[in-house]
Amino acid sequence: MKLRIFPLLALVLVLALLPVGTALADPYDPNAPFALMPEDLYAQAAVVMDADSGRILFDKNATERVYPASTTKIMTLLLACEYGHFDDMITIPEEASDISSDSSVVPVTPGETMRFIDLLYGLEMHSGNDAANAVAVIVSGSVANFVAMMNQRAQQLGMTGTHYANAHGLHDAMHYTTAQDLAILTAEALKNDTFRQIVSSLSYEMAPTEERGALWLSCSYDVMNPNSDLYYEGCIGVKSGFTSNAGQSFVGAAERDGLTLISVAMNCAPTNDDEAKRTKFVDTVRLLDFGFSQYDAYDFTTLFDLATQDTPLVTMVQEAHQDDPYGGQLTLSAAQVNGNWQNKMVYGDEAALNQAVQEFRQSLSVTIQQDVMAPVTSGQTLGSISYSDPEGNAMTGVLVASRSVEAMTFWYKLSHNTTFRVCVALLAAIIVIFIVLRIRVTVVRNRRRKQLMERKRRELERYQREQRMRGKW
């Protein structure tokens, strides 16, 4: 029994010797983002979502009620962007000052005039509660009317776990949301070009007014700071939030290869006071890394090869070399792709890839050159391709020979040419006829010569006989 106590005592001793404030080792492995577990996050509630499809890729208490704090301003900014009138000169209303003394501010002053777009940048980049109230009054006439608009828009978007009580996010027991609802809202907001431009800006200069000089705004998010160890390539905002009741929160978004993901990390528990503002960005990186790890990127050439794998694009080369190993059959490949093609991001298993390949094949138009004559060189253009799909991917390109094909030799070509064969046969017949005629002529000539010689011999004999007879007589 005493022996069993020793390991426990040893563990207590080790923990006692740790410096105060030292945390236990983080079990998360950044080299295996696909293995993310809920306990790897500091957030009380979190989600990562595909902005285009609405697909939830990961969640932790995603529908649990949380306080939004300044992430409320995502809705405030969206409604302002949908309102428009960005270049209008507006006057800051008295309601801008109706905020708590510890509020974050732009600052703006009641009665101050400025362009509406400047107010929106102040709302986002300085998280100005004064700007939120000003936007509410400018857009709808009063804060109450604007809050009603916020709740109506939330209902339209299917944000069933959300209720707004103000435009800025200061704590109110009836002002709440969920991580999933914030992802839905952000996906909708990012469709608005002005919203997207504002939340992704690293800096902005507000023009001077009668109350102040030019005001320089800058983004303070670690995930958007190239000098931070938490910088996330492709990050496009969106909004942080903090109150003592809501804790540290961040709604982020990132885009790679045409795929936009939205991450939400709410009420992130700090490891210590120094790390309090980092944990929401640590979670953001982990969530986005997990999301992108669920997709495979396929470039045009890879999809083309997969789409033509079972039915390759081929053409027959005429008069190919007699020893060509493929009998003149030539496979074509795609090259010189031009257009706005982005890598196809495919989520899921082999079935999803097969579906993507099928959709790719249906959007592909192919034209192959006919009557191709040898010789053909590798890379020679032998056709064209064009592609266009509903997502806006479009391109044109060419089909090229995947190998060289030599022409058949001259003598082989002659030997297998029908006309040549007929000509050779006629020539052979003529030669045979000539030889036969030549032999016949020769035979006839020899016969005549023999007949002539025989006649001369007989005449000579007759002459000799006549001479002998004359001599006798």
pLDDT digit string (tens) for 106-162? 999 999 999 999 999 999 999 999 999 999 999 999 999 999 999 999 999 999 999
- Predicted confidence at residue 413, as pLDDT, reads 65
- Mean pLDDT (the chain) is 90
Polymer length in residues for the chain: 473
Least confident of 7-16, 149-158, 394-403: 7-16
Known binding residues for substrate are: 239
pTM (2 d.p.): 0.76
Average pLDDT for 226-247 = 95
Q: Comparing 138 with 441, which gets the higher pLDDT? A: 138
**């410096």: which residue's tokens?**
19
Percent of the chain at pLDDT exceeding 70? 92
* Other residues' Cβ atoms within 10 Å of the Cβ of residue 295: 20
pLDDT digits (tens, 9 = 90+) for 271-302: 776 677 899 999 999 999 999 999 998 888 88
Helices (H), ranges, 49-142? 73-83, 116-125, 129-140
Whether residue 449 is predicted with pLDDT greater than 50 in this model: the reply is: yes
Is the pLDDT at 410 greater than 90? The verdict is: no
Which range among 4-13, 91-100, 419-428 shows the weakest confidence by mean pLDDT? 4-13
Residues of the chain with pLDDT > 90, as a percent, come to 68
**Is the backbone peptide bond immediately before 208 cis, with ω within 30 degrees of 0?**
no
Distance CA 101, CA 116 (A): 24
Q: How confident is the model at residue 444 (pLDDT cuts 50, 70, 90)?
A: confident
Catalytic option among 103, 104, 127, 240: 127
- pLDDT at position 8, please? 45
What is the structure's pLDDT at 56?
A: 97
In terms of Cβ atoms closer than 10 Å to its own Cβ (0-12, 13-18, 19+), residue 331 is middle
User: Which one of the listed residues 73, 104, 249, 280 is annotated catalytic?
Assistant: 73
Report the pLDDT value the prediction gives residue 417, as an integer from 0 to 100: 65
Helices 129-140 and 143-156 cross at an angle (nearest 10°) of: 90
Burial call 199-238: b when 16+ CB within 10 Å, e when fewer: bbbeebebeebeeeeebebebebbbbbeeeebebeebbbb
Note the pLDDT of residue 416: 64
Residue 157, pLDDT score:
98
Predicted confidence (pLDDT) per residue in 78-109, tens digit: 999 999 999 999 999 999 999 998 899 999 99
Phi, psi of 178 (to 5 degrees): -135, 160
Active site residue 127: yes
Q: One of 60, 70, 240, 344 is an active-site residue; which one?
A: 70
Please give the torsion angle defined by the CA atoms of residues 461, 466, 468 and 473, in that order, rounded to the nearest 10 degrees. 170
Tens of pLDDT, residues 307-363: 998 889 999 999 999 999 999 999 999 887 888 887 888 998 888 899 989 989 999
Report, as an integer, the average pLDDT of 227-251: 96
- Residue type for 59, please? D
Q: Which tens digits make up the pLDDT trace of 47-58?
A: 999 999 999 999
The pLDDT score that the predictor gives to residue 317 is 94
Among 70-74, 253-257, 300-304, the minimum mean pLDDT is found in 300-304
Return the higher-pLDDT residue of 466 and 200.
200
The single-letter DSSP state of residue 231 is: -
DSSP three-state, residue 463: helix
pLDDT tens digits for range 385-398: 999 988 778 889 99
Binding-site residue numbers are 239
- Taking residues 374-379, what's their average pLDDT? 94
Q: How confident is residue 16, by pLDDT bands cut at 50, 70 and 90?
A: very low
β-pairing, 314-318 vs 372-373, is parallel
